[in-house]
Amino acid sequence: MNMRVSVFGLGYVGCVSAACLAKLGHDVIGVDVNPGKLDLLARGVAPLVEADIGALTEEVVGAGRLTVTADAAAAVAASDVSLICVGTPSAPNGSLSTEFLERVAEQIGAALADRAGPRHTVVIRSTMLPGTCERLLVPLLEKHSGRVAGTDFGVAVNPEFLREGSSVRDFFAPPKTVVGELDPASGDVVAALYEGLPGEVFRVPVTVAEMTKYADNSFHALKIAFANELGAVCRALGVDSGPVMDVFVSDRKLNISPAYLRPGFAFGGSCLPKDVRGLVYAARRADVSVPLLDHLLPANEEHLARAVRLVEETGRRRIGVFGLSFKPGTDDLRESPLVELAERLLGKGYDLRIYDANVSLSRLMGANRDYMRARLPHLGELLSSDPVEVLDHAEVCVIGCADPAVVAALENAGDRVLVDLVRLPDAATRRGVPGYLGLAW
């Protein structure tokens, strides 16, 4: 479906988006305050160096599908959709500048006040922190337009996933399309804008769309830093990092996969903590600084501390802990974060009862038994084989597993506080309900 689109901000994202949308058959108006950019684009010359953008810009300008202007009001009046692609630079302390976003929102709002015709949709492509759209931009649009967002005009957030050097190819073959919709009609417009492109389309709340961009970029930075640190350690130990990483990335079940990428409780067990400590120790002996690897265990420790603080903030003393092993389906208690949690709560004087279907004192053997004797020597007095018994004892339920017996017992939790460490199956409906505390959601 052909649409009329105005693109505000003709930098890297805006210029590529404008040219590619025009290639898809839309009629695009580029808007910018820089006369130099406008002059170049009016002549069919891309104002940036980027693979494929030069020929594409020349083609769509020559065909009359991409025009430019400095007049924001005229662009809004002549379009169905406005894409905001202005920059959001950060200060040295990391704080985000929304100056350009605010200025464009004010301009578009003022233009909407005088605009007649079909409902206009404002789509923000700029990278911005969660809450920026609904708490800052929507009020500005409403104030300057005198109209109501989601009723009189549409609003959506549509983060871009364009890599410099391959942005044109990325636009036409996106890994995904994310549409943060203020209302369904706004989402329909954005989905139609990219109709025919490959990749899954995610229609989500506005704040989810805002956060998705940060999740992506932070993980990309993490991957690069991880590979570089591991390479430095390999070199110091006389190992070629190339074959190591070839084997590593070939594993699509655990390594390059969704595995482990779900917020939950801290990691533990007999492998991860031990092996991270061992690698960091080897790096230190080789005089290799590995700040990323060195902070994995402190980051894990901080996540455990968050759970303790959630319990403390309830102000209640009788605690039921559901789950004790380091992950479901095992009785391995070695370096289990739930054991650590129970130990800290006991040390602070809380009255605990514990349920774990897989843990029985009579079956604990070897290193597993020795570990528990050292960490929770009175486990026998705390452990129950009945989740209902633990529930009856508790004022606060700390949920470290979601096996069927626990989920069934929690249906009768009543006014007990639930501290959810694993994201219960009905967590989405519980969020925001008094007495429910999710660890990371």
The reply to whether 85 belongs to the active site is no
Is the CB of residue 46 less than 8 Å from the CB of residue 53? yes
317 is in an annotated binding site: no
163 is in an annotated binding site: yes
Tell how strand 154-157 and strand 176-181 pair up.
antiparallel
Whose structure tokens read 């959001």? 88
Residue 258, both tokens: 């969704």
* Dihedral, CA of residue 200, residue 214, residue 164 and residue 66, to nearest 10: 70
150 is in an annotated binding site: no
Q: How far is it, in rounded angstroms, from Cα 273 to Cα 331?
A: 17
436 is in an annotated binding site: no
213 is in an annotated binding site: yes
88 is in an annotated binding site: yes
Helix extents (H) in 268-383: 272-285, 291-294, 296-314, 337-347, 366-375, 379-382
- Characterize 221-251 residue by residue with b for buried, 16 or more Cβ atoms within 10 angstroms of its Cβ, and e for exposed: eeeeeeeebbbbbbeeeeeebeeeeeeeeee
44 is in an annotated binding site: no
223 is in an annotated binding site: no
Q: Of 20, 85, 234, 271, which residue is the catalytic one?
A: 271
Residue 208, both tokens: 């989810």
Side-by-side strand order, sheet with 176-181: 66-69, 27-31, 4-8, 81-84, 121-124, 154-157, 176-181, 200-204
**Residues 238, 219, 296: CA angle, nearest 5 degrees:** 60
23 is in an annotated binding site: no
37 is in an annotated binding site: yes
Q: How far is it, in rounded angstroms, from Cα 155 to Cα 180?
A: 9
Half-sphere exposure of 155 (CA within 13 A, CB side): 26
253 is in an annotated binding site: no
387 is in an annotated binding site: no
Residues facing residue 384 across a β-bridge: 355
Please give the annotated binding residues for substrate, written as ranges.
Answer: 161-164, 213, 260-264, 268, 327
Task: Kindly list the catalytic residues.
Answer: 271
Please give the annotated binding residues for NAD(+), written as ranges.
Answer: 32, 37, 88, 127, 164, 274, 334
Please give the annotated binding residues, written as ranges.
Answer: 32, 37, 88, 127, 161-164, 213, 260-264, 268, 274, 327, 334
